[in-house]
């Protein structure tokens, strides 16, 4: 008897769910850290900590921050 796939920590996330969380920003495909954290089932701050701790494992443009535009610009 075949076993039904469960939603355990090791389960695969359907492509459709991932695709819905990919945004196009100035021609680049991006994902928001909070969306990635949900997919990995970890708190957002833990995901960011892990990336900062392991910078050599990621390309230089893997992560960037956004900030408000200065009113003087």
Whether 5 is in a domain gets the answer: no
Whether 28 is in a domain gets the answer: yes
Whether 26 is in a domain gets the answer: yes
Q: How far apart are CA 48 and CA 65, in angstroms?
A: 11
pLDDT of the residue at 73: 59
Does residue 39 come out as left (phi exceeding 0), alpha (psi in the -120 to 50 range) or beta? alpha
pLDDT of the residue at 70: 73
Structural domains counted in the chain? 1
* 32: containing domain: 15-54
Whether 44 is in a domain gets the answer: yes
Residue owning tokens 């680049």: 28
φ/ψ of 42, rounded to 5, equals -135, 160
Whether 38 is in a domain gets the answer: yes
Residue 11 token pair: 């389960």
Whether 67 is in a domain gets the answer: no
Each of the 73 residues of the chain gets a pLDDT tens digit; together they read 555 445 555 678 899 999 999 999 889 899 999 999 999 999 999 999 999 999 899 888 888 887 787 777 5
Whether 69 is in a domain gets the answer: no
pLDDT of the residue at 65: 80
């Amino acid at each position: 008897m075949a076993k039904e796939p469960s939603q355990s920590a090791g389960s695969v996330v359907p492509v459709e769910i991932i695709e819905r969380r990919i945004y196009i920003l100035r021609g680049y495909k991006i994902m928001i850290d909070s969306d990635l954290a949900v997919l990995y089932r970890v708190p957002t701050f833990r995901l960011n900590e892990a990336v900062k701790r392991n910078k050599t494992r990621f390309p230089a443009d893997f992560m960037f921050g956004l900030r408000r535009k200065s009113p003087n610009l």
